[in-house]
Amino acid sequence: MSTQAPVNAAKPSQADDEIDLLALFATLWDNKNLIVGITAIFMFFGVAYALLATPIYRANAIVQVEEKSPGLPGMSDITEMFGGESAAVTEIELIKSRTVLGGAVDKLNLDIVIEPKYFPVIGAAVARRFAGLDGEIAAPLMGMSSYAWGGEVLRVSEFSVPAAFYGEEHVLRSLGDGNYALYSPDDELILEGRVGQRASAPGYSLFVNELNANPGTEFSIVRQRRLSAIIELQETLGASERGKDSGIIALSLEDDTPSHAENVLNVVAQNYLRQNVERQSAEASKSLDFLREQLPGIKRDLEEAERKFNDYQVKAGSVNITAEAEALLEQVVELETSVAELQLQQAELDRLYTRDHPAYQAWREQMAELRTRKQELDERIKNLPGTQQELLGLKRDLEVGTEIYTQLLNNIQELDIVRAGTVGNVRIVDDAAVNVEEPVKPKKPLIVVIATLLGGFLSVALVLVRSALNRGVENPDDIEAIGLPVYTSIPLSDEQRKLDGAGKRRQAIRKKHKNQHPHDLLAHKNPTDIAIESLRNLRTSLHFAMLEAENNVMMISGPSPNVGKSFVSGNLAAVVAQAGQRVLLIDMDLRKGYMHKMFGMQPDNGVSDVLGKRISVQEAIKPTRVGELFVMPRGVIPPNPSELLMSQQLTDLLNEVKEQFDLVIVDTPPIMAVTDAAIVGRQCGVTMIVARFGLNPIKELEVTKQRFEQNGITVKGVVLNAVERRASGYGYGYGYGYYHYEYKSDK
């Protein structure tokens, strides 16, 4: 047998770090159908989502926060110089506080979430397109009355559940005529009730204000914790200042129901306005509460002083106060009134300031001065007669009490007026409004464009990744670089795929599926097929190769399953036989050979039977519908294929048939899977291997060549099978690794 010097395969690439844009474009062009298909699918889902998605509307309101006067002159300039925080930032946090939003949750029952149950995927879109009159309900489609189809209404003002069922979905089912039934998350009946009447059950209480739905229609009803509802509202409520330090706050709220978004935003704005007014009038309210607490005690003291004065006059008879005593009385009354007013101020000062504050110090000085003057008046009163002293004391208590009581009433009225007249520094410029003609979500054109671009990007990425991971050889020059001449390249035959009834044969082979083999002989069915023409070229090349061979036995093998070696063996044998030579095709794949299927015969009475000495060689040779072509099938699958092939019977079989035929073609199992080909190849004059376009990596072919050479077998050449027409011409990115193939019988 002739040998060929191996060619060094280690060729440094001059452009490993360069990108061939033409080849990249060609790869994309080869996979244009996949790219267009994936892009179209993404675009379809984008259009479907845009049409079926629930539209979201936005309610907008504007609030103005007026600037407060600084406490001290020049403070505003100092604050601006140091970059003080805008007052609007503080007001925004107040708007989103639990105090303000909690009032909206309580007033609108936002902790009770109600949703009609729609038919999956399209139900909500169908219900939105129902254009009935107020109170009109859409008829159930196809009798599916448990779903809402448009116009359904359920309003609940009270729904209490056990603590363990907060956040759990309950089901309310309409029973018709205003009746309903409530079911637990486990679909157990809890209670039945009627609209406008409170219904109760252990741990449950429900009051339905309005129910308008077909009998059987179901609603999902969930009771949230109050804090959870407030947090959810905080997340959906938008608040931002328009312009720097403008004091204009824009409020927004998004919801799928325009009226609901508008109502919630209006209530939030009103709660914030009321909270601001209450904050501004807090001082007056606290002072008013303090004075009202003091009023009953002062009134009792006044009544007691009046009673004592009247009792003394009755007891002592008519007693007149002298001019001197009258003057002292006026001074004492004025002094006592001032002392009483200062005592009332002390409680307010204790609340606002410490004892060391200047205002508190001034109050103490005033009180000390009044007490000094009081002591002086007390000394002068002691010089009066006893009757005048006692009468003066009673008269003083009465007039002081009257003066204090009158002053207290006046202060209460003034503070009440101040509190009622407080307007705060916040006003609502624009009430909430919703543009129902243009929902803010979804942006239908944008969604379709993004979905289409995403599909195109992912499909291109998929193609490029597949191309990068595909290590299968596609360029015959790469095969010849490792010292294996390529005798021919066989195009992928569409006619053979039709004969096999495998429209997806190509994809299946890519995934290395089992049982992907021909079921008919293409050279007989369509001898003009382009793949058969390529085999005729191979026939010519092999004619000269066989002249140099030791015998007329040619073995065809391959590195791995599903490369098409049986297709090449069978059709090559037919092409040679059609040229007038007497050809024998031997299926030496004793494990899972299927050559018999190509010729419509049974596998029994074949090679394994001859090697097992159960039949003779002549009994195993079977004629075919191609004139001078004969076939020896594999026979019964033996338990020890390798041992049979290593026996003397194989040598005897080949010696007998090579004398009877012009050419003997032996189809063997893949060398990377089992060693059978290495055993048979020692007795063959020519060894050819079949590689599949885009499937076998170049390193795999190199390892195949080495395995044959280790067994003393020279590979004459390679047949590149199933070559596909591509714009890219050949592939890139070959690597190598460890290869292992499972090779077992299908039986």
User: What pLDDT digit, counting tens, does each position of 19-74 carry?
Assistant: 567 778 877 887 889 999 999 999 999 999 998 898 999 999 999 887 654 443 44
Q: Does the pLDDT value for residue 389 go beyond 60?
A: no
Question: For the chain, what's the residue count?
Answer: 747
pLDDT at 598: 86
Give 528's pLDDT tier (boundaries 50, 70, 90). confident
Contact 595, 667 (CB under 8 A): yes
Q: Does the pLDDT value for residue 681 go beyond 60?
A: yes
Average pLDDT estimate for 559-582: 90
Average pLDDT estimate for 187-198: 94
Q: What angle do CA 151, 155, 158 make, to 5 degrees?
A: 165
Whether the bond between 442 and the residue before it is cis, its omega within 30 degrees of 0, is: yes
Tell me which H or E stretch contains 653. helix 648-660
Q: Does the pLDDT value for residue 14 go beyond 60?
A: no
The total of other beta-carbon atoms located within 10 Å of residue 75's CB is 12
Structure-model confidence comparison of residues 336 and 39, the more confident one: 39
Strands of the 686-692 sheet, one edge to the other: 486-491, 717-723, 686-692, 553-557, 663-667, 583-587, 629-632, 622-623
Give 722's pLDDT tier (boundaries 50, 70, 90). confident
Q: Does the pLDDT value for residue 229 go beyond 90?
A: yes
Burial of 159 (0-12, 13-18, 19+ CB in 10 A): buried
Across the chain, what does the average pLDDT equal? Answer: 80
Contact 596, 634 (CB under 8 A): yes
Considering only CA atoms, which of 367, 396, 399 is closest in space to residue 384?
Answer: 396
pLDDT at 17: 47
pLDDT at 286: 65
3-state secondary structure of 742: coil
Considering only CA atoms, which of 703, 687, 691 is closest in space to residue 740?
Answer: 703
> pLDDT over 70 for what percent of the chain?
75
Considering only CA atoms, which of 570, 612, 553, 432 is closest in space to residue 62?
Answer: 432
Give the helix ranges, DSSP H, for 470-579: 476-480, 494-500, 505-510, 522-525, 530-547, 565-578
pLDDT at 423: 56
Spatial separation of the C-alpha atoms in residues 252 and 265, rounded to whole Å? 7
Contact 701, 470 (CB under 8 A): no
Q: Does the pLDDT value for residue 522 go beyond 50?
A: yes
Spatial separation of the C-alpha atoms in residues 77 and 82, rounded to whole Å? 9
- Pick the range with the lowest mean pLDDT from 27-36, 150-159, 417-426, 634-643: 417-426
Buried b / exposed e along 672-685 (16+ C-beta atoms within 10 A): bbbebbbbbbebbb
Which residues are bridge partners to 441 per DSSP? Answer: 56
Contact 738, 25 (CB under 8 A): no
pLDDT at 220: 95
Tokens of 441: 């979500």
pLDDT digits (tens, 9 = 90+) for 583-637: 999 999 998 888 888 888 898 899 999 999 999 999 999 999 888 899 999 999 9
3-state secondary structure 386-409: HHHHHHHHHHHHHHHHHHHHHHHH
Structure-model confidence comparison of residues 315 and 574, the more confident one: 574
pLDDT at 380: 58
How does DSSP classify residue 139?
P
- Identify residue 254 by its one-letter amino acid code: E
Contact 564, 692 (CB under 8 A): yes
How does DSSP classify residue 441?
B
pLDDT digits (tens, 9 = 90+) for 474-517: 888 888 889 999 998 898 887 777 766 644 444 444 444 444 55
Give 395's pLDDT tier (boundaries 50, 70, 90). low
Spatial separation of the C-alpha atoms in residues 560 and 671, rounded to whole Å? 7
- Cα–Cα distances in angstroms (integers) from residue 706 to residues 381, 427, 486, 700, in the given order: 137, 90, 17, 10
Q: Does the pLDDT value for residue 734 go beyond 50?
A: no
Contact 117, 219 (CB under 8 A): yes
The total of other beta-carbon atoms located within 10 Å of residue 165's CB is 17
Residues whose CB is less than 8 angstroms from the CB of residue 354 and which lie 6 or more positions away in sequence, other chains included: 360
Q: How many CA atoms lie within 13 A of 173 on its CB side?
A: 15
Give 648's pLDDT tier (boundaries 50, 70, 90). very high
Contact 579, 712 (CB under 8 A): no
Q: Does the pLDDT value for residue 328 go beyond 70?
A: no
Considering only CA atoms, which of 671, 658, 688, 678 is closest in space to residue 572?
Answer: 688
Contact 389, 265 (CB under 8 A): no
- Pick the range with the lowest mean pLDDT from 306-315, 605-614, 678-687: 306-315
Give the helix ranges, DSSP H, for 481-529: 494-500, 505-510, 522-525
- Identify residue 652 by its one-letter amino acid code: D
- Identify residue 399 by its one-letter amino acid code: E
Give 78's pLDDT tier (boundaries 50, 70, 90). very low
Structure-model confidence comparison of residues 69 and 399, the more confident one: 399
- Identify residue 580 by its one-letter amino acid code: G
